[in-house]
Amino acid sequence: MPPSSSDIGSRRLDLAGTRDFHVAGAGRARRAALSSFNRDWLAQVWRTATGGARYEGVALAAVGSLGRGDAGPLSDYDLVLLHSERSLGAKELGAFAERLWYPIWDAGVRLDHSVRTVTQSRQVAAADLIAAVGLLDLTAIAGDEELVVAARSTVAHDWRGNARKRLPQLVEALEGRHARQGDLAQSIEPELKEAHGGLRDMTVLTALAEAWLTDRPHGAVDTAHELLLDVRDAVHVVTGRGRDRLGREEHDAVAALLGYPDADELLTAVSDAGRLIAYSLDGTMRRAGQSQRARTLRVGPRRPQMTPLGHGFFVSDGEVVLGTPRLAESDPGMALRAGVVAARAGLPLAPATLENLAASVPSLPDPWPASARDLLGDLLAAGPGLVTVWEGLDQVGIVEHWLPEWAAVRSRPQRSAVHRHTVDRHLVETVVRAAGLVRRTSRPDLLLAAALLHDIGKVRGAHDHSVTGAELARGIAARWGFGAADVEILVRLVREHLTVIELATRRDHQDPATVDAAVEAAGGDREVFEILLALTEADASAAGPLAWTDWRATLLEQLAVAVRDRLDAPRPAPGSAVSRADQTVGVLAPEAAAAVRAGEPQVRVVSGGGSHRLDILDVDRVGLFADTAGLLAAEGHTVRTAILRTVDDVAINEWHVESPSGAVPDPERIARGLARLARGDRGPLQTLDRRRAHLARPSGESGIGSPGQARALVVPGASTEATVIEVRAQDRPGLLHELGAALARAGISVRSAHIATYAGQTLDTFYLTGADGQPLPPARVAQAVSLVIDTCDGVTAA
């Protein structure tokens, strides 16, 4: 038996740990040492299994990372026992294989193994695309090396000979894997091996070159590959497991091991590497397809088919090329023009054209001429084709030439649960969304520029990215040649790009103070408000489905209506403001009021998309808010907003809910439940009580419910009609009901509530008044804050 086989994992980790991960070139040296160690140890296993005898026509070979020599400290072994048909009998071969595999299993090493002849290897490669790519890395470990060379060369020969048939299969396999595993560059927990831009894509690049269809890029992409291998190795060391995913819990430790100042810098580097590998793979796949088509169709010399696009650009085999490279040497706007032409055509710029533009196009003057600024607007308005074209321009440094501030946000991660992209990719996606909204404003150029710049302040060390971004936008807009007035509008749009959505979702849009804040954000300008509104929608929809939902869109539109009314109407004379209660008079028909007072609540449901508005009329009473919230939770609905009004003794309440199950709220069932609750019958809440009983209550000792975890903050100046409190806590079924009940017991009324939940955390805003309908005095404010925190932390019984 090989010596010390039982601690092979520890020995591999020790070997990895003896290297300085953050020293340049250490990764290659570490992997070379690990490769030598792995092969030496397996050679010892071979010698033990053979007993020193010479086995003719039998060999042990490796594929995968072990075969390539880039295995990590705890990578598994992927081994093939090759044999000729006449080397050993079936029984003897099986016994020999067991003598090889069992010591490896006993050592605790993960093993993928097979026993094949050269012919069988060829057959497997022909039938299984993934196996074919893997067998291209077949490397001898021990035994008959000529047998391994024969197997590898045979598989490679077939791979080249069948390239025409295998390439479409490879494209389909790649698309499927990338769809399952996602984009490495856009993940906060990247799958380092299987994702688009991961380590397996590097093996595909090599396989494409092996097919002699095209060469693959070298230099920068190889450096990116080394970085991902280093990160993979660090994950193995930190976790003690052969994992390929960089989980959140490993971010800090891996960053420290690799010498990065923090986890965000690590993720930025990983994203950069993944983007480069993905970009290289996509381009190489296009080159391979072009080569295959040329090889298939050409009979003698063939001139490339060139479809003119104008301005010296042509479509050639699925890419945009510059017909005369000299054109790039005289026109500073040629790179912008190239981007416009390609994005509008929905095609990528050819790599050679990009490199020529990056090297040859003269610098734009400062400030830019109007023609260049117009070209930038045309590029940003191009729609979905912008994403691929922008990536190509970014890869060769052209984007940073236009916008040096881009370097600080390039590939920068976003840890917010609502974001699905890095900062730079989110900016581009926002531009694409904004391009579909340009008809809402007379200044689409300002909307698109603001979309590109709205998060430019998300840089290392920024306390408030909106404020930081606004100052950066001032310099950028001036450099791009915008006039002084337009510069100030862009600064305002960047600074206030979150204001409207926060007001819409976390404030009462019928409160004059909320409308005042939105008007102030737009500088009192109707057109600026429309741009800000479109920017808000583009930003939220580009962030992802958590940031842009039906209920958010509804609330944003409701606020927009109120703001437009304010901006379009003459200002009322001082003291002439109409109260909220007065505005609701006339909404309540006499027959409806009579039915409500007779103990028959009225409920109307208006559905739109995945959200529902419930108009609920009931006799006003202490605890009505809590009962309604509890009943809706028991019915399986998620409350997003509640706006409460009272006319005389009748509550006219508006609730916005979402139904995760897809069920539409039943108005009659809700009305019956409210009537029962008003009579003191708690039966309608039994479903909610049972659900809460199955959940562990916050303990006060540990976890999210421990003291200090929940927060309640008074928002000064948010309303002149109520005390506004923001609540942040761990969400749980019925929490809104519990909060309403606790406040009702204290005689505090909830006038409106605005509910948001992200990644299991609530961000709720309550407008509170006393029994007199006025904002709470200081002592009562302190009481309300204490009640809210205690309830969220499970101290107060529901």
> Residue 702: pLDDT band by 50, 70, 90 thresholds?
very low
What's the whole-number mean pLDDT along residues 220-239?
94
pLDDT of residue 760: 66
pLDDT of residue 103: 92
What is the three-class DSSP state of 125? helix
Residue 112: strand pairing partners: 78
CA–CA separation, 642 and 411 (whole Å): 39
pLDDT of residue 588: 62
CA–CA separation, 372 and 335 (whole Å): 10
pLDDT of residue 246: 96
Contacts of 300 (CB under 8 A, 6+ apart): none
Tokens of 770: 């006393």
Among 226, 323, 328, 224, which Cα is nearest to 279's? 224
pLDDT of residue 590: 79
Query: Please, where are the H alpha helices in 73-128?
Result: 90-106, 118-127
> Please, what is the Cα angle at 27 between 156 and 3, to 5 degrees?
80
CA–CA separation, 490 and 310 (whole Å): 32
Does residue 335 have a pLDDT over 80? yes
pLDDT of residue 700: 41
What's the whole-number mean pLDDT along residues 207-218?
85
What's the whole-number mean pLDDT along residues 256-270?
94
What's the whole-number mean pLDDT along residues 627-640?
89
Are the C-beta atoms of 284 and 217 separated by less than 8 Å?
A: yes
Are the C-beta atoms of 642 and 628 separated by less than 8 Å?
A: yes
> Residue 58: pLDDT band by 50, 70, 90 thresholds?
very high
CATH T-level topology, domain 5-158: Beta Polymerase; domain 2 (3.30.460)
Are the C-beta atoms of 417 and 188 separated by less than 8 Å?
A: no
pLDDT of residue 575: 40
Tokens of 381: 């308005």
What share of the chain has pLDDT > 70, as a percent? 91
> Residue 786: pLDDT band by 50, 70, 90 thresholds?
very high
pLDDT of residue 694: 62
Q: Is 1.10.3210 the CATH classification of the domain at 409-570?
A: yes
> Residue 295: pLDDT band by 50, 70, 90 thresholds?
low
> Residue 589: pLDDT band by 50, 70, 90 thresholds?
confident
> Residue 304: pLDDT band by 50, 70, 90 thresholds?
low
Q: Tens of pLDDT along 442-474? A: 899 999 999 999 999 999 888 899 999 999 999
What's the whole-number mean pLDDT along residues 375-403?
95
What's the whole-number mean pLDDT along residues 546-570?
87
CA–CA separation, 431 and 539 (whole Å): 8
What's the whole-number mean pLDDT along residues 284-308?
69
Question: If you count DSSP H runs as helices and E runs as strands, how many of each does the chain have, helices first?
Answer: 33, 16
Select the more confidently predicted residue: 451 or 637.
451
Contacts of 286 (CB under 8 A, 6+ apart): 317, 318, 319, 348
pLDDT of residue 303: 60
Does residue 107 have a pLDDT over 50? yes
> Residue 11: pLDDT band by 50, 70, 90 thresholds?
confident
Across the chain, what does the average pLDDT equal? 87
> Residue 577: pLDDT band by 50, 70, 90 thresholds?
very low
What is the three-class DSSP state of 113? strand
pLDDT of residue 294: 59
What's the whole-number mean pLDDT along residues 148-169?
89
Are the C-beta atoms of 233 and 28 separated by less than 8 Å?
A: no
Select the more confidently predicted residue: 289 or 370.
370
* Architecture of the domain delimited by 165-297: Up-down Bundle (1.20)
Distances (CA, A) of 204 to 171, 196, 672, 795: 10, 11, 63, 58
Domain extents in the chain = 5-158, 165-297, 310-402, 409-570, 582-792
Query: Please, where are the H alpha helices in 298-369?
Result: 334-345, 351-360
* Maximum Cα–Cα distance across the chain: 106
Does residue 705 have a pLDDT over 80? no
Global pTM value: 0.81
Cis amide leading into 367 (omega within 30): yes
Q: Tens of pLDDT along 716-769? A: 988 999 999 999 888 888 889 999 999 999 999 888 888 877 656 788 889 999
Tokens of 561: 């209506």
pLDDT of residue 188: 93
pLDDT of residue 406: 97
What's the whole-number mean pLDDT along residues 660-682?
90
What's the whole-number mean pLDDT along residues 166-178?
90
CB atoms within 10 A of CB 786: 15
One-letter identity of residue 431: V
Query: Please, where are the H alpha helices in 211-250?
Result: 220-239
